[in-house]
Amino acid sequence: MRALLALAAMVAALTVPRTDVIAEDLPVQDPRVVGALALLDNSSSTKHLRTVLERNRVSVQFVSMAPGVYARYSVARHVIEIDNRWSSVDDIALAAVIAHEATHAQDAVSGFLTGDSAGACIDSEIRAFRTSALFWLDVYGPKGKSTLEDELDRQLNLVADRQLRDPHGLENLVRQTYSAQCSTS
């Protein structure tokens, strides 16, 4: 009888799908982003993003990028790449950047970016900027970060302020800024 129960348990272990996540299922993250990823869980606008990254095995890495490029999401490689110059910023700024790029990851896996249309690309950028702005506002409030340490902080404050005071203006600014890039991607 014990042998039969052991055999049944072994068969069940091999045939019943697992609903838990094991370590090998999770993406490999740069150790510098662990704290930033945890911060996403604390904001109502970003609490779902870590699950999106984990389910779709999206990793976050630091790489050298061209001047003016802060970060990007690669649909083909399932990776968020952040410019090396931001590798030592505080976790909150890093979380805001990850929130932006994770929004693109969410759009990609949901099929929203299928077909490479310029409109879908621009709409994804608008959502990404809004998401990072809402996260920034959740953390710092309507006045933004008071002590700006670098250009990234300044940009995040500006985008959050625009989202707060003129969301339609933020949308128009993103449309103007990304129209050329989205029409060639």
Query: What confidence score (pLDDT) does residue 25 get?
Result: 60
What pLDDT shows up at residue 116? 62
- Give strand ranges (E) for the chain: 59-63, 71-74, 79-83
The pLDDT value recorded for residue 185 is 60
Residue with tokens 């709409």: 123
Query: Tell me: the pLDDT tens digits for 133-185?
Result: 999 999 999 999 999 999 999 999 999 999 999 999 999 999 999 998 888 76
Q: Is the pLDDT of residue 15 over 60?
A: no
pLDDT score at 2: 43
Q: Helix or strand or coil: residue 135?
A: helix
pLDDT tens for 52-97 read: 999 999 999 999 999 989 999 998 899 999 999 999 999 999 999 9
Q: What ranges do the domains of the chain cover?
A: 27-184
CA atoms of 26 and 57, how far apart (whole Å): 6
Residue of higher predicted confidence among 20 and 82: 82
Q: What is the pLDDT of residue 9?
A: 39
Q: How far is CA 53 from CA 22, 25, 56, 131, 145, in A?
A: 15, 11, 5, 15, 27
What 8-state DSSP symbol labels residue 23? G
What pTM was estimated for this model as a whole?
Answer: 0.84
